[in-house]
Amino acid sequence: MIDFKNTKTAFISKSNIDLKKARFLYKVMASPFITKVASVMTAFAMSIRFPVNWFIKPTIYCHFVGGETIDECDKSVAVMAKSGVNSILDYSVEGTESIEDINNALGETLNAIKNAGTNPNIPFAVFKPTAFTTADILTKASAGDSMTDEEKAEAQNFKDRVNILCETAYELDIPILIDAEDSWFQNFIDETVEEMMLKYNKEKAIVFNTWQMYRHDRLEHLKATYEKAIDGDYFLGAKFVRGAYMEKERERAEKMGYESPICANKEETDKLYNDALRFTFEKRDRISTFNGTHNEESSLLLAELITKEGLPLNDNRFWFSQLYGMSDNISFNMAKEGYNVAKYLPYGPVKHVLPYLFRRAEENTSVKGQTSRELLLIKTEIKRRRSVKNN
């Protein structure tokens, strides 16, 4: 049984100063009021070009982000690799739609894929589809709305950009994870990813789609996608997350008068998530599974399925992942046991990564037990180290 309470292993890569900074940060995030006020004030400061790097970078930024560039991430990648924890560099610039920004994102993502091809400690590449076209195009294409010739051309441009990334990953033999987005974007993204799988997953899973399991329709969608893989004779790459846009999804559904795609409660989400893991494990000859979760139960579930079947713990068809700065008790303890583990390591300029950081702060405030769990583990390790020092 993996011991997720082993804080010595969990924080082996953290100095005493790192732990004290993390303790302070999670104490702040434990207050929804302080977190909300800080987010609003930071956004306002950015809007009037008031410098914020001086307090953002040494606090929340350095805890959740690897650096501003690929090179700046090298230190974190190397440190985690010493404990068997791999990294996935995630260019986390969001909210830009100009052709210049799209081209910049394309170039940077290609650099990240090529960097992964040269570093054995970076086993995957990743990208957010919203970085490569406009929200309007994704919405219309997903809904099947009529589009102008110009809009149709841009929809094809999106597919072409995704193809460039997937082709590069294929040539370098680097699996590439394509993140999930808002539900009103997802149909067109799914269509595009399935085309990429058909093209590049003939020998093994190179292209991975992402299923947000807080959507009550995703398990059936996963099963339907598996049938397409069988019919098309290609391998399926399946990344699972619970989901990141719950409040926005429910608000939009209520405002526009359609059924919310989100599960009624956490228990339903947890069941669907675990059922999806069981399904892909059962179909492991065709599906590779990327288990992206901070949930201990879901992590143990897949680990137990692997061990009960007598498979190698490092079977390359199964990966476990958590975000950098969160759930080190899962990542480092699983890596110590010999499972495949990779941390999502975001990077990018401070001002562009702020939306990502705000989501992390809000997530840790709203997710039941997440902040209290992190705080308890950090305090436990600080106390353990003091005890060792005094003996």
pLDDT tens-digit readout, 232-244 = 999 999 999 999 8
- At 310 the pLDDT is 98
- Asked if 23 and 371 count as a contact pair (C-beta separation under 8 A), the reply is no
Neighbouring C-beta atoms of residue 384, cutoff 10 Å: 13
H or E stretch at 292: strand 287-292
Examine the pLDDT at 29 and tell me if it is beyond 80. Answer: no
Domain ranges of the chain: 1-65+353-391, 67-347
Q: What is the pTM of this model?
A: 0.93
pLDDT bracket for residue 371 (50, 70, 90): confident
Q: pLDDT at position 290, please?
A: 98
Per residue in 94-144, pLDDT (tens digit) is 667 899 999 999 999 999 999 999 999 999 999 999 999 999 999 999 999
Rounded distance between C-alpha atoms, residue 388 and residue 391, angstroms? 5
Q: What are the structure tokens assigned to 41, written together?
A: 């004030």
What is the model's pLDDT at position 33? 52
Are 163 and 193 in contact, with CB atoms under 8 Å apart?
Answer: no
- Strands lying side by side in the sheet with 125-127: 86-91, 341-347, 318-323, 287-292, 236-241, 207-212, 176-178, 125-127
Q: Give the separation between CA 14 and CA 326, rounded to whole angstroms.
A: 13
pLDDT, the chain, mean:
91
Indicate left, alpha or beta for 327 from its phi (over 0: left) and psi (-120 to 50: alpha): left
Separation CA 142–CA 249 (nearest Å): 15
The angle, 0 to 180 degrees and rounded to 10, between the axes of the packed helices 135-143 and 149-172 is: 100
- The kind and range of the H/E element at 211 are strand 207-212
Look at the domain 67-347 and name its fold. Answer: TIM Barrel (3.20.20)
Q: Which two tokens stand for residue 28?
A: 């702040």
Q: Where is pLDDT greater, at 210 or 30?
A: 210
